[in-house]
Homo-oligomer: A and B are copies of this chain.
Amino acid sequence: MKIGILGGGQLGRMFIQEALKYDDEFYVLDPNPECSCANISHYTRGDFNNYDDVLEFGRDKDVVTIEIEHVNADALEELENLGVKVVPNSNIIKIIQQKILQKKFYEENRIPSPEFEIMDGSEEEIKIQLPFVQKLNTGGYDGKGVQLIRTTQDWRNLWTQESVLEDLVDIDKELSVIVAKNENGEIKTFPVTEMVADPKLNLLDFNICPADVSEETQNQIDIIAKQFINSADSAGLFAIELFLDKNGKIWVNETAPRLHNSGHQSQEGNANSQFEQFYRVVTNLPLADTDAFGFSGMLNLVGEENHSGKVKYEGLEEVLKLPKTYVHLYGKTETKPGRKMGHINVLADSREELMEKLVYIKSLVKVITN
């Protein structure tokens, strides 16, 4: 099968790596000829945000998919009209690309997400109470395009672009659930992941799986995942980012229509990884079992502050001495502050052992320059 991927970053790379078990041909569209996928696929230089580039790239593929959601969805729609299979479909990509549409989607489909107000210039007055979260309608990524408006002082920082203004949730835990559906309508979810964020970089820091949540919380999440995947009306693999608030209620923060950082520990932690599951989705094969093998966790390898240039991974040899510890680098030669360069997965027999290992590994390893 000729599988075309918009975007050639690490998600595409790990997808192709996993899918090398099967006999397909992978094609990648990315502006950067040194992207993570360039050497392991048929690479086309081009802009996945450009209508013509995407249309041209997709025409002769059996299926076109994405590893980043900021793509030209109109071109994907045209490919669908031309009979090319697009997974996930252009409609759900468009909804997710725009925070305003995404919020309305949750509202219409009775998926609990924080109360919100749309700021698009149509109303003079902002009615939402402080504190609240401003999310730009488009262009947000990896925590960018999101800010907290806590005090009347913060009002002066309010962005003027189209946005969603959203109630601030009193967060107890950040969670994520990955749900997949193939064209045959088969649905499977992964065990819930718990995330611990680095407040400075606003990137995930540790993932822990399975999350330590009550049966009642698990039930809420199951209902949300089911409701989302049925409403989305598209084959695909989706990562639903969730907040558990201090009253025990689950809210959807946002959804990614693709492979996700919160599922990386599934590479060694589950019977099958999110990458294998995504392959099954894209090729409409039976979905894979997602059982967890004990406890698994992940630590992002992120470029240190004040280091830009050719990357060096300090302490990696020490890490490789540890049992059930797996280093995944993304084939990027240049580091810069906050850049995701790789991750480390860990398996353990208990949550305590897992946390100890993650904290120890974090103390060992640094992403710096030579």
Contact = CB atoms under 8 A, between A and B. Distances in A.
Interface of A: 13, 17, 20-23, 25, 39-42, 271, 280, 285-286, 288-289, 291, 293, 311, 317, 320-321, 323-324, 326-333, 347
For A17, A23, A39, A326, which residue has the most chain B Cβ atoms within 10 angstroms?
A: A23
A40 B16 CA distance: 10
A328 to B, nearest CB: 5
Cβ-closest 9 pairs across A and B? A289-B323, A286-B321, A17-B20, A21-B328, A23-B329, A286-B320, A40-B40, A271-B324, A285-B320
For A21, A271, A327, which residue has the most chain B Cβ atoms within 10 angstroms?
A: A21
Contact of A329 (B17, B21, B42, B327): B21
A21 B264 CA distance: 12
A21 B327 contact: yes
Contact of A326 (B21, B285, B317, B333): B21
Given A21-B329, A23-B329, A326-B21, A317 B40 contact: no
A285 B320 CA distance: 8
A102 B272 CA distance: 41
Contacts of A42: 39
B324 A289 contact: yes
A22 B329 contact: yes
A291 B323 contact: yes
A330 B24 CA distance: 10
A interface majority secondary structure: loop
Nearest to A327: B21
Nearest to A331: B23
- Taken together, the copies of this chain in the complex come to 2
A91 to B, nearest CB: 28
B271 A23 contact: no
Contacts of A285: 317, 320
A342 to B, nearest CB: 8
Contacts of A311: 23
A33 to B, nearest CB: 15
A82 B315 CA distance: 31
A177 to B, nearest CB: 20
Contact of A17 (B17, B39, B271): B17
Contacts of A289: 323-324
15 contacts: A17-B20, A20-B40, A21-B326, A22-B329, A23-B330, A23-B332, A39-B40, A39-B41, A40-B40, A271-B347, A285-B317, A285-B320, A286-B317, A291-B323, A293-B293
Contacts of A293: 293
B17 A320 contact: no
Given A271-B323, A293-B293, A324-B289, A23 B317 contact: no
Nearest to A20: B17
Given A25-B39, A271-B324, 9 more contacts: A17-B21, A20-B40, A20-B331, A22-B327, A23-B330, A271-B347, A289-B323, A291-B323, A291-B324
